[in-house]
Amino acid sequence: MSGASRIFSEGVTVMAVHQSTHRSSGFRLPSFRRDGAVSAPGSVEAGALTARACVFASARVLMGFVFLWAFLDKTFGFGYATASGKGWVDGGSPTEGFLGHVAVGPMESTFHSWAGAVWADWLFMLGLLGIGLALTAGVALRLAAFAGTVMMALMWVAEWPPAKHLSDGSASMSTNPFADYHVVYAVVLVALAAVSAGNVFGLGRLWARLPVVRDHAWLR
């Protein structure tokens, strides 16, 4: 190869390398591992604190607080949804007020028969507590998603958003015939379980290493 050809070839190579180092497919946040090292953009590292992982972890904790607060307020009567002195510890029923006032939908009479029942109170309160603790700690998210979805579905049926009028003919005040907050909560719960949101800022990885959890994937 002549000197001119070699110089031309080397020049093309240098230009190609120079261009590839400046080519970018868009803005990406680097992933910071817990040991302080920085992983390459787009890589998937165990325990990586990506922006997406942090968002899902934050959503998980906030959802956990929604359920935990409902449990605490109904137990002790903080004066928000449950009046002071009407808490579970004061002898009040966590389900009587809501289920007893269901006024629309195909399960209206069924919910009335459940209102105030001891088994209904315990099942509802244990559900709130269990789902809240699981979400906050980042463990058993699949089980929490299933239980939470069932709870949200029952509450959706109790409010029955498709109805424009209640059983007595008055306006139901429903703002959407389908997509109310119960549906949104259920979808968020399923999404958190699907992306293993407990692995960041939670005990998800430690929980997954337990022998019983490894043998039963539905416990993750």
Average pLDDT over residues 48-67: 93
Condensed to tens digits (0 to 9), the pLDDT of residues 120-129 reads 999 999 999 9
CA nearest neighbour of 128 among 110, 107, 150, 108: 150
The pLDDT assigned to 36 comes to: 40
Which two structure tokens, joined as six digits, stand for 207?
Answer: 């929980």
Q: Is 180 a residue whose pLDDT tops 50? A: yes
Average pLDDT, the chain: 84
The pLDDT assigned to 30 comes to: 39
Q: Where are the alpha helices (DSSP H) in the chain?
A: 3-22, 51-76, 96-100, 108-114, 118-137, 141-159, 181-194, 204-208, 211-215
CA nearest neighbour of 67 among 142, 140, 123, 128: 128
The pLDDT assigned to 49 comes to: 76
Q: Could you tell me the pLDDT band of residue 130, with boundaries at 50, 70 and 90? A: very high
Alpha-carbon distance of 197 to 188, in angstroms, equals 11
The pLDDT assigned to 158 comes to: 97
For 151, the 3-state DSSP assignment is: helix
Q: Could you tell me the pLDDT band of residue 196, with boundaries at 50, 70 and 90? A: very high
Q: Could you tell me the pLDDT band of residue 141, with boundaries at 50, 70 and 90? A: very high
Average pLDDT over residues 34-38: 41
For 200, the 3-state DSSP assignment is: coil
pTM of the model: 0.77
Average pLDDT over residues 9-30: 41
Condensed to tens digits (0 to 9), the pLDDT of residues 72-115 reads 999 999 999 999 999 999 999 999 999 999 999 999 999 999 99
The pLDDT assigned to 1 comes to: 52
Q: Could you tell me the pLDDT band of residue 143, with boundaries at 50, 70 and 90? A: very high
For 31, the 3-state DSSP assignment is: strand
Alpha-carbon distance of 101 to 186, in angstroms, equals 23
Token look-up 């325990």 returns: 47
Q: Is 41 a residue whose pLDDT tops 90? A: no
Please indicate whether residue 39 or residue 97 has the higher confidence score (pLDDT): 97
Compute CA distances 166 → 4, 23, 101, whole Å.
Answer: 89, 61, 11
Q: Could you tell me the pLDDT band of residue 48, with boundaries at 50, 70 and 90? A: low
Please indicate whether residue 22 or residue 98 has the higher confidence score (pLDDT): 98
Which two structure tokens, joined as six digits, stand for 128?
Answer: 């709130």
Residue 202: phi, psi to the nearest 5?
A: -155, 180
